Amino acid sequence: MATGPGDGRDPSADDASNYDYRGDTVERPGLVADLESLVEGDVRFDEYTRQLYATDASIYEVTPVGVVFPRSTADVAAVMEYCADRGVPVLPRGGGTSLAGQAVNEAVVLDTTRHMDGLVGVDPEGREARAQPGIALGDLNAELAPHGLKFAPDPAWGDKSVLGGAIGNNSTGAHSLQYGKTDAYIEACEVVLADGTVTTFGEVDRETLAERGDPDGDLEARIYAELDRILREEADEIDARYPDLKRNVSGYNLDWVVEDAADGTVNLAALLAGSEGTLAIVTEATVSLEPVPETKAMALLAYDELVAAMADVDDILAHDPAAVEVLDDTLVGLARETAEFEDVVEVLPEGTRAVLLVEFYADSDAAGERKVADLLADRTAGVDARRDPTDDGVTVDAPVRAFDALEAHDDAERERFWKLRKSGLPILLSRTSDDKHVAFIEDTAIPPEHLPEYVSDFQAILDDHDTFASFYAHAGPGVLHIRPLVNTKTVEGVAQMESIADAVTDLVVEYGGSVSGEHGDGRARTQWNRKLYGEDLWQTFRDLKTAFDPDWLLNPGQVCGDVDMTEHLRFDPDYEFDAGFDAALEWDNENGMQGMVELCHGCGGCRGPQETTGGVMCPTYRAADEEITATRGRANMLRQAMSGDLPDDPTGDEFVAEVMDLCIGCKGCAKDCPSEVDMAKLKAEVEHAHHQKHGVGLRDRLFANVDTLARVGSALAPLSSLPQRLPGARTLLEKTVGIASDRSLPTFRRRTLTDWFASRGPQVPEGEAERRALLFPDTYTNYSHPEVGKAAVRVLEAAGVHVRLADRTDSGRPAHSKGLLDESRATAAANVDALAPRVRNGWDVVVVEPSDAVMFQSDYLDLLGHDDADAVALAENAYGVCEYLDQFGLDSGVDWSAPAESLTYHGHCHQKATRKDHHAVGVLRRADFDVDPLDSGCCGMAGSFGYEAEHYSMSRAIADILFDQVERSRGETVVAPGASCRTQLGDRAEADGEPPHPIEKLADALP
């Protein structure tokens, strides 16, 4: 199985870069060889890996020296000691989800997420856990769940963010009102210091700190001495200058240390919270845990303006909520226009221009209901008081209250409310123009009582700079996410960004807030710490940094360094873009294909594990655990190749093989990615351009024309199935054509579905039918599994549909999946010419195979254009077979007689990506089947991908994730609508043949 860049590539091959640190030239080949001899983990300094780690989720891009994937604390210590001797910077990095740029630097990056990602131990009685820094918070909490415990801080990307990153950023989340920040949960940390020393930081009493401190001692002693000095000399200044907030992650965590010291102890591990890897490298952490709440309850409060909502926050806090979240009119309006969220927005009371979501934790449902009732009673009282005039006709001066409210107590309704809140990020990040909602001052923290004035003043700053932003997120602790619309590709845009940041920092200081209440300092905000804390504390920060890191090698420049927010921008005025070819597909967005290439902002949503994240995206990353196999990795590499940061031709053999080849075209990113990066479509463009320049291989031609092969195989059946059974035939096929010898090949039926239907004819007269449907006899159904098509005909007719078969069998999907876009376009045009007239005459087109249905519904518009009226008509009237039954309620009139059988349902990734996967589950349940739908990704077969010899191991690795889910499911029988999925499931160990299509189970349930 291909596992990413560096395998088979000489990591020192890109020898153009030598590194000059503090006057000494460090050459890459020697650096690589030395590190490889020192560590058990992987050492990668090739150009591809360096570019993969040049970005995080921020607006910045800095190419690192190289990347090491340590396996142990000893590896980390060896790298740090070696680099310290040579003056080479080091950057510990987790999931790369940082929004301020603290996870990119010109340094040797230590990625702990590959190997150092385990849970070391749990003490349920003591409510503590010990874990390595690379463990994802979602995985950590999944392992703690059986004990009824959790690591409480809940950043939005907790299932992708890791423990080390949470410590480095002092992370928190929507429920910080209840739980606070990460610093409250750090009991002890094993760390590697800047000279390679391994030690443990935890709680020490004040006297011990002073006794162990020695300004002339070893590094650890000097650290203790400096902390002792700060506590003796700087405590008053720290008390005076640090903002009095629940949420402040700017600067070093000295206020926490001072508060601790007042009780006679100091927790040095908590000092690392928010240090962004600039003080020490955490290699293991002991954290305290919280019990999982028994139940929750929510209220949705509607306001006619944002400032009114902000004015209500301080009073709401008196009710002790766990979370108070806000959504402004900009996002409510955009959500209303977005298909995914319009059903959520429709519940809002008329006139809603701002929303507060208030969640309570409770010990019982009754207690939760009482908390919501108390809140709503208070809101109603406020409204009545404000609206009732006094005897002299003057309106009572009462607090501003919501004009309406909704409440939610069951899981589904609460999830609906949270879905509305979470709609903000996907909408903001979906812009494909040069103007972006940029994260640079988006998480300021303000005392909640000042929010109304602050929001008004912030809006005035935006007006002065001729731009706008949306306001959303954590109103309870005073942390609003505010991302102004800025174009950093222009000189004016960069100046505008810095000017806004400067003005907002002044505003923050005026209101006693912090420049970062959640996302940290990094490259975006480090320079503003000087203004926030003053010169004296700025120097204290630098002295502390020097005590920990005398040569400033650990993530240099951050927190109290010299990074400038306008430097190292991913998109700057010098940025240029040249794809090197013209787009072959229609891109219905601003900036066309370029807009899509540049759309990934790096949040790492594609890196989530199946067990805790679910969804479709990104199956190859889940199987390989390699950045280059994630959507983020491919998107970054493609953009870097097209902008010149990576010198490779994006259509060249090496780039296509290394970067694009393992994308299986599942389309999951088009749904699961917050920005909706459509990597499957981008891959089709790149492969098409590659074919134009380099020609098309034999195997690609064969797979692209599988309909012709199947037709010949059917005509020669059963003889056509004999050769693959001959000894050595499959081995020969693998050596000559590249089809995996371990993969079972399709068999063909002499009597096709079209043959069967021609002799049978429709059974429901056209004049008596509920609807008229053309069933599309796709290649797989027609020639290999006609029984599925027969089942579809029987069920449709039982539902009162007049059925006929289309006289076309190739949707164009095979050619499209191989990047042969001219061929798929020609097939699409022919199908539209054949089917559109019938559609205009009132016929529906129904498809058994999900990928073919999505081809009609979506890909034809990319091939033929959204202004092709016939293509649009076909797209709007084409349905998967279960979608068709569900959409029009056709199954409601069937007198089902299902056997007592439970089903495990695995949906097709293309259906999931287009949000059409739920239809089959609904119909099966109404037919009285007990259905357990899997939250599964792609099966790994992906059309021809799983047949290709070099992809077979990857295909099986992806399938193993699905197989594990099937084993844990409650269903007796697996059903899957996709032909590829059924092949993959049929090939698994101990499988009793291929599983049925859902339509076959429905046919079994007919009277």
Assess whether pLDDT exceeds 90 at residue 605. Answer: no
Pairing state between β 290-291 and 281-288: unpaired
pLDDT one-digit tens code per residue, 405-446? 999 999 989 998 888 887 777 778 888 999 999 999 999 999
pLDDT-based confidence at 399, cuts 50/70/90?
Answer: low
**How far from 776 is each of 821, 837, 844, CA to CA, in Å?**
21, 15, 10
Contact 480, 473 (CB under 8 A): yes
* Calpha distance 806→799 (Å, rounded): 19
Phi then psi dihedrals of residue 387, to 5 deg: -90, -20
Interaxial angle between packed helices 73-86 and 28-38, expressed in degrees from 0 to 180 and rounded to the nearest 10:
150
Q: Is the pLDDT of residue 314 over 70?
A: yes
Query: How many angstroms separate the Cα of 749 from the Cα of each of 719, 744, 807?
Result: 10, 16, 18
pLDDT at 2: 34
Q: pLDDT tens digits for 505-528?
A: 999 999 999 999 999 999 999 999
Can you tell me the mean pLDDT for 891-902? Answer: 92
Q: What pLDDT sits at residue 25? A: 63
Mean pLDDT of the chain: 92
CB atoms within 10 A of CB 804: 16
Task: Classify the C-alpha dihedral 889-892-893-896 as positive or negative.
Answer: positive
Give residue 383's pLDDT band: very low, low, confident or very high (50, 70, 90). Answer: very low
pLDDT at 378: 78
On the question of pLDDT at 11 being above 50, the answer is no
Secondary-structure breakdown of the chain: helix, strand, coil percentages, each rounded to the nearest 5:
45, 15, 40
How large is the C-alpha radius of gyration of the chain? Answer: 30
3-class DSSP assignment, residue 354: strand
Is 16 a residue whose pLDDT tops 60? Answer: no
Of 765, 175, 121, give the one whose Cα is nearest residue 476: 175
- Is the pLDDT at 26 greater than 80? The verdict is no
Q: Residue 24 — pLDDT band, cuts 50, 70, 90?
A: low
66, pLDDT greater than 70: yes
Q: HSE-up of 772 (CA within 13 Å, CB side)?
A: 12
Q: Which amino acid is at 469?
A: A
Percent of the chain exceeding pLDDT 90 equals 83
Nearest of 621, 612, 820 to residue 703 by alpha carbon: 820
Give the pLDDT confidence score for residue 385 in this predicted structure: 40
Alpha-carbon distances, residue 92 vs 47, 278, 523, 760 (angstroms): 19, 9, 16, 68
Distance CA 100, CA 952 (A): 40
Q: What is the model's pLDDT at position 396?
A: 37
C-alpha 334: how far from chain center = 21
pLDDT band at 904 (very low <50, low <70, confident <90, very high): very high
**pLDDT digit string, tens, across residues 155-195:** 987 778 999 999 999 999 999 999 999 999 999 999 999 99
**What is the C-alpha to C-alpha distance for residues 518 and 169, in angstroms, rounded to an integer?**
8
Least confident stretch, 389-403, 427-441, 820-834: 389-403
Q: What percent of the chain has pLDDT over 70?
A: 95
Res. 392: pLDDT tops 50 = no
Query: How much is the pTM?
Result: 0.93
Closest CA to 962 of 1002, 912, 1003, 925: 912
The 3-state DSSP class for residue 879 equals strand
Mean pLDDT of 288-313: 95
- Among 23-32, 236-245, 303-312, 479-488, the least confident range: 23-32
For residues 754-775, average pLDDT: 95
**Which residues, including other chains, have CB under 8 Å from residue 398's CB and lie 6 or more apart?**
382, 385, 386
Q: Which of 109-118, 167-176, 717-726, 909-918 has the lowest mean pLDDT?
A: 717-726
> What contacts 911, CB < 8 A, 6 or more positions away?
850, 853, 854, 880, 883, 917, 977
Grouping H, G, I as helix, E, B as strand and the rest as coil, residue 442 is coil
Tokens of 808: 């076309």
Candidate from 371-385, 421-435, 490-504, 556-570 with smallest mean pLDDT: 371-385
